[in-house]
Amino acid sequence: MAFTVMMGGSAFAQQRATEEALRFIHDGNQAWVSGMKSGDASKIAATYAADALDCGATGECLKGRAAIEAAMKARIAKMGRAASASVMSLGSVQRGNFVYEWGSATAAFVNGKKIEGPYLTVWAKQKDGSWKIFRNMALP
């Protein structure tokens, strides 16, 4: 209830994302999957807006596509390519030029380590008509 009130009432919760936006979101989620498996941080970073904010589950945040890409490169250098990866989008709503999407992502590595957990992502429509990640937050 509090989430609905914060987001502008019950009408907001019923607004479906456009098919166009959903295609970009699907492609962006798949870029994360294939980027984790191939070790290609630039493929993942390309889904972020230049001024994006990416926050971990403990609250630390990176600002800007370049910083996000550098952190992803460091993670891939440390952990290697993912043996498997998946993203399960559980829902989305749209308000104007923003889509709020939530779900769960997992990447498993050959060394037995895993990255997994729920997320909340805000996608913003860009001037060229594409949709990019504006805010991304891993949830505890």
> How does pLDDT run across 72-104, given as a tens digit for each residue?
999 999 999 999 999 999 999 999 999 999 999
**Which pLDDT score, from 0 to 100, does residue 9 have?**
52
Task: Please state the pTM of the whole predicted model.
Answer: 0.88
Q: State the pLDDT at residue 14.
A: 55
Spatial distance between the Cα atoms of 127 and 94, rounded to a whole number of angstroms: 17
pLDDT recorded at residue 1: 41
DSSP string, 97-124: TEEEEEEEEEEEETTS-EEEEEEEEEEE
In the predicted model, what is the mean pLDDT of the chain? Answer: 92
Alpha helices by DSSP H, the chain: 2-6, 10-13, 19-38, 41-45, 65-79
**Other C-beta atoms lying within 10 Å of the C-beta of residue 32:** 21
The residues spanned by each domain of the chain are: 9-138
One of 3.10.450.50, 1.10.357.10, 3.40.640.10, 1.20.1440.230 is the CATH number of 9-138, namely 3.10.450.50
Q: Is 103 exposed, middle or buried (0-12, 13-18, 19+ CB in 10 A)?
A: middle
Q: For residue 6, is pLDDT > 80?
A: no
Distance CA 71, CA 17 (A): 30
pLDDT score, position 108: 97
